[in-house]
Amino acid sequence: MSRGARPIAAEVHRAAYNRGQDSLMSSDSSVIRPLVDRTVPTEAATLDGFAAATSGPGVALRQLEPLTELIVQTRNTSYRIVVSHEADIVIQGGTFFPDPTRAHVEGSSVGGNLLKIGWIGVGLRMEIVADGRRIVTTAVRSIIRRDDTVPVRPH
Protein backbone atom coordinates (compact mmCIF):
# COMPACT_ATOMS: atom_id res chain seq x y z
CA MET A 1 0.00 0.00 0.00
CA SER A 2 1.31 3.43 -0.83
CA ARG A 3 2.10 5.94 1.85
CA GLY A 4 -1.02 7.82 3.04
CA ALA A 5 -3.41 5.22 1.59
CA ARG A 6 -5.98 3.74 3.95
CA PRO A 7 -7.71 0.41 3.69
CA ILE A 8 -11.07 0.49 1.87
CA ALA A 9 -12.85 -1.03 4.87
CA ALA A 10 -11.88 1.97 6.98
CA GLU A 11 -13.37 4.35 4.38
CA VAL A 12 -16.60 2.37 4.26
CA HIS A 13 -16.76 2.29 8.06
CA ARG A 14 -16.15 6.05 8.23
CA ALA A 15 -18.93 6.67 5.65
CA ALA A 16 -21.30 4.40 7.57
CA TYR A 17 -20.43 6.12 10.83
CA ASN A 18 -20.93 9.57 9.28
CA ARG A 19 -24.45 8.57 8.09
CA GLY A 20 -25.32 7.46 11.63
CA GLN A 21 -25.22 3.75 10.85
CA ASP A 22 -23.89 1.42 13.48
CA SER A 23 -22.70 -1.35 11.19
CA LEU A 24 -20.08 -1.69 8.49
CA MET A 25 -22.00 -1.41 5.24
CA SER A 26 -21.16 -0.42 1.68
CA SER A 27 -23.54 1.31 -0.73
CA ASP A 28 -24.01 -2.07 -2.47
CA SER A 29 -25.46 -3.76 0.62
CA SER A 30 -29.03 -4.15 1.77
CA VAL A 31 -30.24 -3.60 5.29
CA ILE A 32 -33.51 -3.71 7.19
CA ARG A 33 -34.02 -0.71 9.43
CA PRO A 34 -36.87 0.43 11.66
CA LEU A 35 -39.45 2.63 9.97
CA VAL A 36 -38.73 6.28 10.47
CA ASP A 37 -42.06 7.49 9.08
CA ARG A 38 -44.85 6.01 11.18
CA THR A 39 -47.65 7.91 9.48
CA VAL A 40 -51.07 7.16 10.87
CA PRO A 41 -53.86 7.36 8.29
CA THR A 42 -56.27 10.24 8.71
CA GLU A 43 -59.70 9.33 10.03
CA ALA A 44 -61.31 9.93 6.60
CA ALA A 45 -58.95 7.35 5.08
CA THR A 46 -60.51 4.59 7.17
CA LEU A 47 -63.85 2.94 6.42
CA ASP A 48 -65.33 4.28 9.66
CA GLY A 49 -64.04 7.77 8.90
CA PHE A 50 -65.44 7.65 5.37
CA ALA A 51 -68.83 6.49 6.68
CA ALA A 52 -68.88 9.41 9.11
CA ALA A 53 -67.81 11.89 6.40
CA THR A 54 -70.54 10.73 4.01
CA SER A 55 -73.35 10.76 6.58
CA GLY A 56 -73.80 14.53 6.41
CA PRO A 57 -76.16 16.58 4.24
CA GLY A 58 -76.36 15.67 0.59
CA VAL A 59 -78.51 14.31 -2.18
CA ALA A 60 -78.89 10.87 -3.76
CA LEU A 61 -79.25 11.61 -7.47
CA ARG A 62 -81.14 8.36 -8.14
CA GLN A 63 -83.95 9.60 -5.88
CA LEU A 64 -84.48 12.83 -7.82
CA GLU A 65 -86.99 13.28 -10.61
CA PRO A 66 -85.64 13.94 -14.11
CA LEU A 67 -85.21 17.67 -14.84
CA THR A 68 -84.55 18.47 -11.16
CA GLU A 69 -82.14 21.39 -11.14
CA LEU A 70 -79.41 21.79 -8.52
CA ILE A 71 -76.96 24.59 -7.84
CA VAL A 72 -73.85 23.06 -6.28
CA GLN A 73 -71.30 25.45 -4.82
CA THR A 74 -67.81 24.06 -4.30
CA ARG A 75 -64.87 25.88 -2.79
CA ASN A 76 -63.93 27.27 -6.24
CA THR A 77 -66.96 27.00 -8.52
CA SER A 78 -70.72 27.18 -8.79
CA TYR A 79 -72.22 24.38 -10.92
CA ARG A 80 -75.70 24.20 -12.43
CA ILE A 81 -76.74 20.54 -12.62
CA VAL A 82 -79.87 19.19 -14.30
CA VAL A 83 -80.67 15.55 -13.57
CA SER A 84 -81.40 13.48 -16.69
CA HIS A 85 -81.80 9.94 -15.39
CA GLU A 86 -80.42 8.62 -12.11
CA ALA A 87 -76.78 9.85 -11.96
CA ASP A 88 -76.71 11.07 -15.59
CA ILE A 89 -76.72 14.86 -15.65
CA VAL A 90 -76.20 17.97 -17.71
CA ILE A 91 -73.67 20.21 -15.95
CA GLN A 92 -72.45 23.75 -16.51
CA GLY A 93 -69.92 25.82 -14.57
CA GLY A 94 -66.25 26.36 -13.97
CA THR A 95 -63.29 25.76 -16.21
CA PHE A 96 -64.22 22.21 -17.20
CA PHE A 97 -67.87 22.85 -18.09
CA PRO A 98 -68.22 26.37 -19.58
CA ASP A 99 -71.14 25.09 -21.72
CA PRO A 100 -73.89 22.63 -20.76
CA THR A 101 -72.25 19.19 -20.95
CA ARG A 102 -73.68 15.69 -20.63
CA ALA A 103 -71.95 13.88 -17.80
CA HIS A 104 -72.29 11.20 -15.15
CA VAL A 105 -71.81 11.75 -11.42
CA GLU A 106 -69.85 8.75 -10.16
CA GLY A 107 -70.35 9.94 -6.61
CA SER A 108 -68.60 11.81 -3.82
CA SER A 109 -65.34 11.18 -2.01
CA VAL A 110 -63.01 12.74 0.51
CA GLY A 111 -60.37 12.70 -2.22
CA GLY A 112 -59.18 9.12 -1.76
CA ASN A 113 -60.18 5.71 -3.04
CA LEU A 114 -63.57 5.42 -1.33
CA LEU A 115 -66.61 6.71 -3.23
CA LYS A 116 -70.26 7.10 -2.22
CA ILE A 117 -71.95 6.17 -5.51
CA GLY A 118 -74.53 8.55 -7.04
CA TRP A 119 -74.25 10.98 -4.13
CA ILE A 120 -73.40 14.67 -3.91
CA GLY A 121 -72.47 15.51 -0.33
CA VAL A 122 -71.58 18.70 1.48
CA GLY A 123 -67.93 18.60 2.52
CA LEU A 124 -67.09 15.98 -0.13
CA ARG A 125 -65.63 16.20 -3.64
CA MET A 126 -67.84 15.37 -6.61
CA GLU A 127 -66.37 12.87 -9.07
CA ILE A 128 -67.81 13.48 -12.53
CA VAL A 129 -67.12 11.67 -15.82
CA ALA A 130 -67.61 13.66 -19.03
CA ASP A 131 -66.11 13.28 -22.49
CA GLY A 132 -63.89 10.43 -21.31
CA ARG A 133 -62.35 12.48 -18.47
CA ARG A 134 -62.79 12.12 -14.70
CA ILE A 135 -63.14 15.48 -12.97
CA VAL A 136 -62.75 15.67 -9.19
CA THR A 137 -64.02 18.96 -7.81
CA THR A 138 -63.03 20.80 -4.68
CA ALA A 139 -65.21 20.18 -1.62
CA VAL A 140 -68.92 20.96 -1.95
CA ARG A 141 -70.01 23.84 0.28
CA SER A 142 -73.74 23.89 -0.49
CA ILE A 143 -76.44 22.23 -2.59
CA ILE A 144 -79.62 24.12 -3.49
CA ARG A 145 -82.60 22.81 -5.43
CA ARG A 146 -83.40 25.49 -7.97
CA ASP A 147 -87.17 24.93 -7.79
CA ASP A 148 -87.50 25.45 -4.03
CA THR A 149 -84.30 27.49 -3.36
CA VAL A 150 -83.72 25.86 0.01
CA PRO A 151 -80.61 23.84 0.89
CA VAL A 152 -80.91 20.09 0.50
CA ARG A 153 -81.39 18.36 3.85
CA PRO A 154 -80.05 14.94 4.81
CA HIS A 155 -82.31 11.97 4.13
Query: Which pLDDT tens digit goes with each residue over 117-153?
Result: 999 999 999 999 999 999 999 999 999 998 755 555 5
Distance, in Å, from the CA atom of 3 to the CA atom of 148, rounded to the nearest integer, reads 92
pLDDT beyond 70 at 40: no
Query: DSSP for 127-147?
Result: EEEETTEEEEEEEEEEEEETT
Looking at 43-52, 69-78, 91-100, which range is the least confident one?
A: 43-52
Find the Cα–Cα–Cα–Cα dihedral 39, 40, 43, 44, rounded to 10°: 40
Distance, in Å, from the CA atom of 24 to the CA atom of 98, rounded to the nearest integer, reads 62
Domain definitions of the chain by residue range = 51-145
**Mean pLDDT confidence for 4-20:** 46
DSSP-based three-state secondary structure for 56: coil
Query: By C-alpha distance, which of 28, 26, 6 is closest to 16?
Result: 26
Q: 93 vs 23, which has greater pLDDT? A: 93
Give me the pLDDT at residue 49, please: 64
